[in-house]
Amino acid sequence: MASLFDLPLRTFISSFLAFHSIKTILDKLHEPDGYNIGMNLGKAAGQTIDHLHIHIIPRYERDVEDPTGGVRFVIPHKGNYKKPGFIPKGKTKKPKVKESK
C-alpha cells in the first residue's frame, strides 16, 4: 500500500485506533507536550518511499526554536534529506526522557 486511502475501510479505522494506543504509550514513557502526526501521500507531497508509513512524532516545549509550520520543520536540519542544509538550522533542545525505575 502506498497510501492511506488505499487501505480497506476497516484497516483505515484500525490505524487510528492504533495511533491512540501509541500516544498512550509515548505519554507514559516520555511525557511529551504535543505531537506531530504526518504522512506523505504521493510524490507531489514528498513521498519518497513507495509504501504507507505514518510518522508519530512526540514534541516538547522548546525542542525547536520556533515550532510554527508544524511537520514541515519538525526536524529543521532534516526537512529535506536529499538536499542537506536546505532547511535552515535552528537551536534545538533535547527532549526530556522519563527515568525508568
Q: Is residue 27 part of a domain?
A: yes
Q: What is the pLDDT of residues 13-56, one digit of tens each?
A: 999 999 999 999 999 999 999 999 988 888 888 888 888 888 89
- Cβ burial, residue 93 (10 Å; 0-12/13-18/19+): exposed
Q: What is the pLDDT of residues 58-76, one digit of tens each?
A: 999 988 777 877 776 666 5
Under the banding of pLDDT at 50, 70 and 90, the label for residue 77 is low
DSSP 89: P
Q: The domain that contains 50 carries what CATH number?
A: 3.30.428.10
The cell numbers describing 76, all together, are: 529543521
pLDDT reported for residue 49: 84
Under the banding of pLDDT at 50, 70 and 90, the label for residue 81 is low
Cβ contact 14:22 at 8 Å: no
> What is the C-alpha to C-alpha distance for residues 47 and 59, in angstroms, rounded to an integer?
22
Using DSSP, how many helices (H) and how many strands (E) does the chain show? 1, 2
Q: Say how many domains are in the chain.
A: 1
Q: Is residue 15 part of a domain?
A: yes
